[in-house]
Structure 1
Amino acid sequence: MAAEGTYPPLFTLKAVARDVWIADGPIIDLYRMPFPTRMTVVRLSSGDLWLHSPIAFSADLLEALQEIGPVRHLIAPNWLHYAHVQDWADALPAAQTWVAPGVVERAEGQGVRLRADHLLGDAAPEPWSGDLDQMIVPGSRLHREAVFFHRASRSLILTDLIENFEPARLPWHLRIVTRVAGNQHPDGSMPRDLRLTFDRQALAGAVRRMIAWEPARILIAHGRWYPARAVDELRRAFRFLDL
């Protein structure tokens, strides 16, 4: 089994495409499930860096990032993926924080300090409108996730809408859990409990929009990501919808 189910080397920039990197982080325990963490980094046409779902803060990783550009934007893409944003904001007071709907309320409810400079919406804001498309996926009474598409590299950036846990990286009992939940590689998908919170028609419309972007790859926060055949993977992962 890989070290604690993670994707080493951790806190290391790994090139995905031109101006796109990932950095894998340590496990975070959520709902008694060990989730490996992953951050996506995009260098905008301005040269500024955009950090999606920041992993645990690392001074060495920050140094590596600053070698490729100034970190200007810290993205909390849904109500669960904000835990490390404030640590990065403390280290980078000039960076702006951008949070999905529900993040501020979640942080306040848990007594977590969070500087939320901007609320993410369906339209990409000026700092990255020339590089990224985005939308807030509609239809859930609970889960509001911002998804992004980097046009130049054709990279679709998701968070929890698809999870793809590799069984070889899990203890035996979690292999059973993820198989039942529907988020186990090679058939990773939206966890079944999360599906129940969505209006299927609204979710299907959002997935159709993702397909229309014609992504080449899908970057996700938990588990093995998809380096190719992205449209096919979207159709497979969301086959429970009437697309």
Structure 2
Amino acid sequence: MASEHAAWNPAAEFELTQLAPDIWIARHPLRFFGFRMTTCMTVVRLPSGGVWLHSPIPLQGGLKTAVDALGPVQFVVAPNRLHHLYALAAMEQYPQARLFVAPGLTDKNPAFAPHPPLPEAAVAPWADSIDAVFVAGNSELNETVFFHRPSRTLVITDLVVFLGSWDAFATRLYARINGCYNRFGHSFLLRRFFRDVPAARRSVQAMLEWPIERIVMAHGPVLRRDARARLREAFAWLL
């Protein structure tokens, strides 16, 4: 399966790239604890015409122009305790928007205290087109995953990655050591942070009930083939 992404070039998606009607992505270089990779922002146009930004990246120049052309940015989402680096900057650019943050993020960074935690899926202001599951049992991440129903796209951040030849040497080395090189899955290191396995299992089972056809992850190419089956395979150790 890795061969389907052998020629993938993350830089080709540094511009706003449409995946399906009303959903786009854009990438940005990222250095994290010395590891160089790319990170991904997902943009959804809601039925109201407003725009939902998931894990925003720096918005400047042509990228901001492209996002603004989609409609007014109404919601910004920091989906876990790690993916928040550019969220406050996005709020400076879109002061009319509302920022929702992962549980526990305020404890890590008090600057997020004025912003509410991510709401339950059923009462979220984007519930007319986006479902969500909070993945319990991993307080290091406290990640919420999202499902854009119209395009059947799962938006996931750090729970699953796909690191490969497109990443820097140190990142590839980390991926090889942790069993996540050139494959869709997660690192051996991440597994250690699932301290409440039954709770995490229930969350993943809820996620797998969605009719997933495509997976957008923060670190790796968009997964378009056998997406739901491969997600189940990635979490087989937990299920």
TM-score normalized with structure 2 length? 0.89
Could you say what secondary structure the match of 1:119 adopts? coil
For residue 87 of structure 2, the aligned residue among 85, 95, 103 is 85
In the alignment, structure 1 residue 181 sits paired with structure 2 residue 178:
yes
SS of aligned partner of 2:99: strand
Amino acid at match of 2:184: G
Contact 1:163 1:184 in 2 (8 A): no
SS in 1 for 2:201: helix
Partner of 1:58: 60
What is the aligned counterpart of 2:192 among 196, 199, 212? 196
Matched to 2:32, the amino acid is L
**Structure 1 unaligned runs (5+)?**
none
Residues 1:150 and 2:153 are matched in the alignment: no
- Give the CA deviation at 1:214: 1.6
Q: Deviations over 1:97-116 (max 9, x none)?
A: 010101112123xxxx4474
- Equivalent AA in structure 2 for residue 17 of structure 1: A
Match of 1:101 in 2: 103
Q: State whether residues 40 and 57 of structure 2, in contact with CA within 8 Å, keep that contact through their aligned partners in structure 1.
A: yes
**1:9 corresponds to:** 12
The correspondence of residues 1-243 of structure 1 with structure 2, limited to 5 A, is 7-9=10-12, 11-26=14-29, 28-108=30-110, 113-114=111-112, 116-171=114-169, 173-185=170-182, 187-198=183-194, 199-241=196-238, 243=239
**Count of residues paired in the alignment:** 231
Equivalent-residue separation in structure 2 for 1:38 and 1:213 (angstroms): 22
Tell me, yes or no, if the aligned pair for 1:86 and 1:115 is still in contact at 8 Å.
no
Q: In the TM superposition, what is the alpha-carbon distance from 1:229 to its structure 2 partner?
A: 1.4
Question: Which residues of structure 2 form unaligned runs of 5+?
Answer: 1-7
Matched residue type, 1:18: P
Hey, what's the Cα distance between the residues in 2 that align with 1:203 and 1:115?
26
The answer to whether the 8 Å contact 1:18/1:153 transfers is yes
Write the letter of the residue equivalent to 1:98.
Answer: F
Is residue 184–residue 230 contact of structure 2 (8 Å, CA) maintained in 1? no
In structure 2, do the counterparts of structure 1 residues 76 and 141 end up closer, same or farther at CA, with 3 Å as the change threshold?
Answer: closer
Contact 1:188–1:237 (8 Å) recurs in 2: yes
Query: Among the aligned pairs, what percent are the same residue?
Result: 35
Measured against aligned partners, the alpha-carbon deviations of 1:22-52 in whole angstroms (never above 9, x if no partner) come to 00112x2222212311100111111111010
TM-score, normalised to structure 1, is 0.88
Deviation of 1:211 (Å) = 1.2
Q: CA deviation at 1:239?
A: 1.9
1:215–1:230: 8 Å Cα contact kept in structure 2? yes
Change (3 A) 1:94 1:122: same
Deviates more, 1:10-19 or 1:157-166: 10-19
Deviations 1:165-194 (A, max 9, x none): 1124332x4323202212222x22122212
CA contact (8 A) 1:166 1:224 kept: no
- 1:135 is paired with a residue whose SS is strand
